[in-house]
């Protein structure tokens, strides 16, 4: 049974109260941008083992994928938009299930503060049934986060100029520190496993953006 809509209806208002400051992306005079990469959430081995014991499954549905590294599980969500300071947009669905109950949450966005010394962020999801641009809910917090951006060199490519930038974000992932939301999550999937702020896994987000410009100056 899929309960995404009811779950989000119960918790959206509370989940949107606590936000993370997001910096606006600087305007760029570019012709086109191509993006590739993925955001991966890997469960801690002890969490994976305990979830299996209580019958709760985390799976990635297309275009997201699931893999099983030694002793744990990883969910991979393809990146959908070019590099933007403070945000990484992804596609795919995360399904959380226990017994006959299931919640499907789509289009995870990694959002993080960009100020000096900032090391925290959050991962929000959208109801799989909702229209694009609908309400989002914070499921995970991100801590001890590091962001590394490597700006590529501008090079001539036929009649145009190109520059390839790379962004790497890593950190720890925890269940959101929101008692009301976590209580609703547990109730809808029929478990008492999750607790506010509990350590859940690790984050590894890699984004490659290639900018194609008409002139060298536009790509600089």
Residues with pLDDT less than 50, the chain = 13-26, 28, 131-132
Cβ neighbourhood burial of 72 (10 Å; 0-12, 13-18, 19+): middle
Residue 69 CB coordination number (10 Å): 11
Helices (H), the chain: 4-15, 45-54, 179-189, 216-219
CA–chain centroid gap for 181, Å, is 18
Rounded distance between C-alpha atoms, residue 152 and residue 80, angstroms:
20
What's the gap between Cα 145 and its chain centre? Answer: 13
Quote the CA–CA distance of 44 and 61 in Å, as a whole number: 20
48 vs 25: CA distance, rounded Å: 36
What is the predicted pLDDT for the residue at 21? 39
Domain boundaries, the chain: 4-219
Q: In angstroms, what CA-CA distances link 50 with 40, 55, 57, 190, 210?
A: 20, 9, 10, 15, 41
Angle between helices 4-15 and 179-189 (to 10 degrees): 170
- The pLDDT assigned to 10 comes to 58
Q: Determine the pLDDT at residue 12.
A: 53
- CA 39/CA 47 separation, integer angstroms: 19
Q: Output the pLDDT for position 2.
A: 56
Output the CA torsion 143→184→126→208 (10° steps). 20
At residue 214, the pLDDT reads 92
In this prediction, residue 73 carries a pLDDT of 95
Q: How many helices and strands, by DSSP H and E, does the chain display?
A: 4, 12
Give the model's pLDDT for residue 3: 54
The Cα–Cα gap between 164 and 185 comes to 40
| Residue 19: predicted pLDDT | 43
Token pair listed for 206: 């890699």
pLDDT of residue 128: 58
Give the DSSP H or E segment for 65. Answer: strand 65-67
pLDDT of residue 172: 98
User: Please, is 212 exposed, middle or buried when counting C-beta atoms within 10 Å of its C-beta (0-12, 13-18, 19+)?
Assistant: middle
């Amino acid at each position: 049974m899929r309960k995404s809509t009811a779950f989000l209806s119960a918790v959206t208002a509370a989940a949107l109260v606590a936000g993370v400051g997001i910096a606006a992306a600087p305007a760029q005079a570019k012709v086109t941008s191509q993006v590739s990469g993925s955001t991966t959430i890997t469960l801690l081995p002890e969490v994976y083992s305990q979830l299996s014991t209580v019958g709760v499954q985390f799976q990635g549905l297309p275009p997201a994928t699931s893999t099983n590294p030694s002793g744990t599980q990883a969910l991979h969500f393809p990146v959908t938009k070019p590099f933007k300071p403070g945000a990484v947009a992804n596609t795919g669905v995360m399904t959380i299930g226990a017994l006959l109950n299931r919640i499907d949450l789509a289009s995870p966005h990694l959002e993080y503060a960009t100020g000096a010394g900032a090391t925290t962020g959050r991962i929000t999801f959208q109801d799989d049934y909702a229209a694009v641009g609908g309400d989002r809910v914070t499921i995970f917090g991100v801590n001890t986060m590091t962001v590394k951006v490597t700006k590529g060199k501008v090079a001539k490519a036929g009649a145009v100029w190109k520059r390839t930038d790379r962004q790497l974000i890593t950190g720890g992932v925890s269940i959101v520190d929101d008692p009301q939301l976590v209580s609703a999550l547990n109730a809808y999937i029929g478990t008492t496993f999750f607790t506010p702020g509990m350590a859940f896994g690790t984050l590894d987000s890699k984004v490659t953006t290639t900018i194609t410009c008409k002139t060298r100056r536009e790509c600089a």
